Amino acid sequence: MTQNQLNRSVARATGESLSTIRSLGFSIADPDEVCHDPERPRCRPRIVNWDQLDAQRGSYLPQRSRCQQQPA
């Protein structure tokens, strides 16, 4: 099935315009890649825990005191 055939099939099934379907970027899932199948979650979630990542990296910026006095 070509991309055009897929777009037309989805547009027909949903009642949306062809341009709307094209803009949404539908594609055919690869049955060998289980991550795209919502019924079989065998892959780790693709989520970034920013707090954990920052803790692993450490701080690259020098720490500043909150109350630095200005020179007189």
**pLDDT, tens only, 25-55:** 888 876 676 665 556 556 666 788 888 888 8
Q: What six digits make up the tokens of 8?
A: 């037309």
42 contacts: CB under 8 Å, gap ≥ 6: 34, 35
Say whether 42 sits in a helix, a strand or coil. Answer: coil
pLDDT tops 70 at residue 58: no
Q: Please state the φ and ψ torsions of residue 59, each to the nearest 5 degrees.
A: -100, 130
Query: Residue 13 in contact with residue 26, Cβ under 8 Å?
Result: no
The residue type found at 65 is: S
The domain segmentation of the chain, as residue ranges, is: 1-29
The residue with greater pLDDT, 50 or 68, is 50
Question: Cα(30)–Cα(2) distance, rounded to whole angstroms?
Answer: 14
